[in-house]
Amino acid sequence: MDTNITLIKSHARKLELKNPILNASGTFGYGDEFSEIFDLSILGGIVTKGISLMPKQGNPVPRIVETACGLINAIGLENIGVDAFLAEKLTFLRKFNTPVIVNFFGNTEEEYINCAKKLSVKGIDALEMNVSCPNVKKGGIQFGTDPKILSSLVKKIRDVTEKPLIIKLSPLVSDIAKMACASQDAGADAITCINTIPAMAIDEQTRKPILGNVTGGLSGPAIKPIALRMVWEVSKKCSIPVIGSGGICSAADVIQFMLAGASAVEIGSYSLREPFCFPEIINGLELYMKQHKIAAIRDIIGKLKI
C-alpha cells in the first residue's frame, strides 16, 4: 500500500511525505510532549508552533474555551522566538525520521522577512507562513485578507528563502481561491487551508467574556464544513497542492478533504482531546485503502464525483 505524497516538487524545492497526516501548528507545541505518547516518525511531517522574530508572551488567561462543537483559543501566538527555537528545539525535532515544517508569522513585512531568513537553515524542510496576523503598518488589516498585501509579502519571502513555502490562509475572506492564486503567482509552493475563524464566548452569570482577550479563533468540528468548501474552491482554481485544516477528527474526515482536493491534512484541536489520534487515523487510512482497493492514496486527491 502506497501512502506516499510528493507534496512539493517544483524548481529545486521538494517535500516528500510518507503519508498525508501532519499535526496542525499550535496544538502540538514543539513536539516534545507528544513524543512521549507516540513515535513522531510515523507522521507525514511535524509542524511547529508559530515562531516569530522575537519571543512573544501571548494573551492574558483564560486562553481556551470549549464550545458545543469545537474550541475557541486566544493563545496569542506565544512562542520562544526564532533564535531560541533554532538553539533549543530544532535538534530535538530532527531526531525523527520525518520532515520538519516551521510555522512562522510577523506583524510587519520586515518581521516576516527576517524570521524567514533565520529559518532558512539546514534541518528545516519547509516553511508554513501564517498570514492571519494584523499588519501594524497598514492599520491592523490581516496580511491574508488583501490580495495585494498578501502577494507583496509572499514575493518578498520567496526572494529570501529557497525553502518550500506553504501559505496558511485566513478564512476571513469572501473569495479564498483569489488569495490562494495570489500566493501561487507570488511564488508559493503550497497552500494550507484554513486557519481558525474569529469567535467569542460569554459567561451570562458574570456578564463577562470568557476569554482574557475577549475574542479568539474557533476550531474543531464546527469549522470542518467551511474548511472543506474552501479546500475544494482553492484546489479547483490553483495548481499548487493544498493542505486541509479544520475540524479533522477521523480517517473519514481525511478522505473527505482529499476528495475535495487536499494532498495532505493537518490535525489540531482533536489531538488535544485524543493525543493518540495520529496513529489511529493513519491506520484508519490504510484500512480505507484496503477496503476500497486503493493502491496509492494520492489517487483519491480531488476525485470528488460531481
Ligand X SMILES: Cc1cc2nc3c(=O)[nH]c(=O)nc-3n(C[C@H](O)[C@H](O)[C@H](O)COP(=O)(O)O)c2cc1C
Q: Which residues are catalytic?
A: 133
Q: CB-wise, 82 or 294, nearer to ligand X?
A: 82
At position 1, the amino acid (one-letter code) is M
6 grid coordinates: 510528493
Residue closest to 31 by CA, chosen among 94, 83, 74, 81: 94
Q: Is there binding between residue 170 and ligand X (CB under 6 A)? A: no
Q: Is there binding between residue 245 and ligand X (CB under 6 A)? A: yes
Q: Is there binding between residue 168 and ligand X (CB under 6 A)? A: yes
CB of 185 to ligand X, least distance (A): 22
Name the residue with cell 514543539.
Answer: 30
Q: Is there binding between residue 166 and ligand X (CB under 6 A)? A: no
251-259 and 224-237 helices cross at what angle (nearest 10)?
Answer: 30
2 grid coordinates: 502506497
152-168 in b/e form (b: 16+ CB < 10 A) is ebbebbbeebebbbbbb
The C-alpha atoms of residue 123 and residue 119 are separated, in whole angstroms, by 9
Q: Is there binding between residue 35 and ligand X (CB under 6 A)? A: no
The helix (H) or strand (E) run that includes residue 256 is helix 251-259
- 17, 77, 115, 211: which one binds ligand X (CB under 6 A): 77
CB of 107 to ligand X, least distance (A): 14
- 26, 99, 144, 241: which one binds ligand X (CB under 6 A): 26
- 40, 65, 182, 248: which one binds ligand X (CB under 6 A): 248
- 3, 19, 27, 59: which one binds ligand X (CB under 6 A): 27
Q: Is there binding between residue 244 and ligand X (CB under 6 A)? A: no
Q: Is there binding between residue 103 and ligand X (CB under 6 A)? A: yes
Q: Is there binding between residue 183 and ligand X (CB under 6 A)? A: no
- Please give the DSSP secondary-structure letter assigned to residue 50: P
Q: CB-wise, 49 or 89, nearer to ligand X?
A: 49
The helix (H) or strand (E) run that includes residue 177 is helix 176-185
**Residues 262-301 close enough to bind ligand X by CB under 6 A:** 267-270
The C-alpha atoms of residue 146 and residue 134 are separated, in whole angstroms, by 11
* Residues forming the site for ligand X (CB under 6 A): 24-27, 49-50, 73, 75, 77, 103, 130, 168, 195-196, 219-220, 223, 245-248, 267-270
